Amino acid sequence: MTDARVRDRRRRTIAGRVLLSYVVLTAAFVVVTGYGAVALERAAVEAELLRSGHLPLALALRDAVGEQDAWNEKIAHLAQSRDPYRERAWLTSTLDGSRPRSFAKVRAAIHRALVAGASGAPSEVGRELMGEAGEIERSLDPDRDGLRRLFDALEREDSTLAEVEQSTIEERGRRAKERLAALELRIQGSMDDLVAEARARERLALRLLLGLALAGVGVGVGIALWARHVLAPLRALTARAQAVARGDLTARPELGTGDELGELSRTFESMVAAIDAAKAQLVSQERLAAIGKMAAHVTHEIRNPLSALALNVQLLEEDLPAGATEARSLLLAIDAEIQRLRVLSDQYLTVARQQPLQLERWSLAEAVDDAVAFLRLDLERRGIRVVVEHGGGEDAARIDEPRLRQALFNLMRNAADAMPDGGTLRIRTDAPPARPLEVSLEDEGPGIDEQVRERLFEPFFTTKGHGTGLGLAITRQIVEAHGGAIECEPRAPHGTRFIVRLPRPAPGAPIEAA
């Protein structure tokens, strides 16, 4: 399995995806909660700013505007007053006391609200407002001299001069009132903006909390539906397990979910395939055991009579006169059938004996060459051209050479039977590094159907008009006794390929030289 596939499988695990969903939901909750906490903290700071900064500033400006308005009112009606000198005391008191205190109060409120502890834009606005308040206060400084000139004119009963001074002071006061009122409106607008921003943040926080609640419900419902969908293959796995428990070992496609259930399905199907293979091997072994018992009995019962029959046929043939051609032909036919029965009994004996292997060190290429050399003449008589190729690499193997030769004989004769009109039989040995040794035999016959290939190695199964169906079964028995495996596959464009794989000797294993 490649690293990419492992990473992909890790990304797509059920637990990982469920965890990711909850991580996303938790992250959204943390973000919204954090925003709400920041918004609440900011709202508290702004509320404190409104309470201890903007509101006192607005009140201070309102007091200053009110005081300036009262000053302007006094100045405007000073000429009509029955006791102007009584008003003079109030006006002087305002100049010397209340007006400086009012502007000092305004400056202190501006400093507390916008300058102290502030930075950036609020601090700049605070300094600007303090400068504006100072300019307004300084613009009223001429009132002291103007008030003195006004009362001097009234004492001299110079109405013209008094009217000019009164108008000047009144106009200066009106402008100061307008500027103070503008400052008050500006502060009031700032307070309104703060309140509007606080309300907007409150509404946004409520919407986010509502959205988070809805998202939580949606994610919960979605995860429930998704979990139901993801876990749906469990029903298929349960049904498959029940079928296997009933004995159905037919191969089924794996669940391609790409998660733990898909991995479980692959593992389960591999287990079923292993059970099926073990069951097939057990059945094969049971069949071979039954054949062995029968072979022992058949061999015991017919082998000696066959030898006697063969001897009698030979004696009869020697006693026949020279012209008994027909009788000689009958005796040859009888002898051929006796030989066929001998071959049959020998095959049964091979199955019955199952003697332990006598393993020796052999070169696989050398063993194949010896087997081919033994059968080459017979194959060439049947029009079969044998081509042997050997791959490179170390091909030393621990084999029972006579038994392996018998297996190769069976495969070569089987290939020759597949080419009754002649053809080429290609035999190749390979010794790939860190892999089992291989011997492949390829014929140019018509090929074998897939259904037939699945049963080729079963005892007594044959597609020929003659034979016992034991040749390939014995071949597999020999190969598996060596710890190897044999496969049959189609060959393009036509024909069949048999592949025998044999294990390499274990490092350090004692092997006797042949």
What are the tens digits of pLDDT across the range 268-294? Answer: 778 877 777 777 667 666 666 666 666
Determine the residue type at 140. L
Reduced to 3 states (helix: H, G, I; strand: E, B; else coil), residue 430 is strand
Mean pLDDT of 100-111: 81
| pLDDT the model gives residue 46 | 64
What are the tens digits of pLDDT across the range 316-369? Answer: 777 777 767 777 777 777 877 777 677 666 666 665 556 677 888 888 899 999
| pLDDT the model gives residue 10 | 47
Is 3:250 a contact under the CB 8 Å cutoff? no
Residue at 509 is within a domain? no
Q: Are residues 343 and 432 in the same domain?
A: no
Last residue of a domain, one of 350, 365, 387: 350
Residue at 512 is within a domain? no
pTM for the model stands at: 0.44
Is 441:419 a contact under the CB 8 Å cutoff? no
Q: Are residues 14 and 160 in the same domain?
A: yes
Residue at 255 is within a domain? no
Give Cβ neighbours of residue 299 (< 8 Å, ≥ 6 apart). Answer: 345, 348, 349, 352
**Confidence check: pLDDT of 18 > 60:** yes
Question: Sorting pLDDT into bands at 50, 70 and 90, what band is 399?
Answer: confident
Give Cβ neighbours of residue 306 (< 8 Å, ≥ 6 apart). Answer: 338, 341, 342, 345
* Residues shown for the chain: 514
Mean pLDDT of 23-45: 70
Q: Are residues 183 and 157 in the same domain?
A: yes
Share of the chain above pLDDT 70, in %: 75
Q: Are residues 139 and 157 in the same domain?
A: yes
| pLDDT the model gives residue 391 | 85
Residue at 248 is within a domain? no
How far apart are alpha carbons 92 and 503 in whole angstroms?
A: 122
Q: Are residues 302 and 198 in the same domain?
A: no
Is 498:441 a contact under the CB 8 Å cutoff? yes
Q: Which residue has the tokens 């990304």?
A: 11
Determine the residue type at 46. E
CATH number at residue 428: 3.30.565.10
What are the tens digits of pLDDT across the range 214-247? Answer: 877 777 777 777 767 766 777 777 877 887 787 7
Spatial CA neighbour of 179 closest among 131, 144, 223:
131
**Confidence check: pLDDT of 4 > 70:** no
Query: What total of structural domains would you count in the chain?
Result: 3
**Confidence check: pLDDT of 307 > 80:** no
CATH number at residue 283: 1.10.287
What are the tens digits of pLDDT across the range 406-448? Answer: 889 889 988 998 898 889 999 999 988 888 999 999 999 888 8
What are the tens digits of pLDDT across the range 65-83? Answer: 888 788 788 777 776 666 6
Q: Which domain holds residue 449?
A: 357-502
Average confidence score pLDDT of the chain: 76
Reduced to 3 states (helix: H, G, I; strand: E, B; else coil), residue 437 is strand
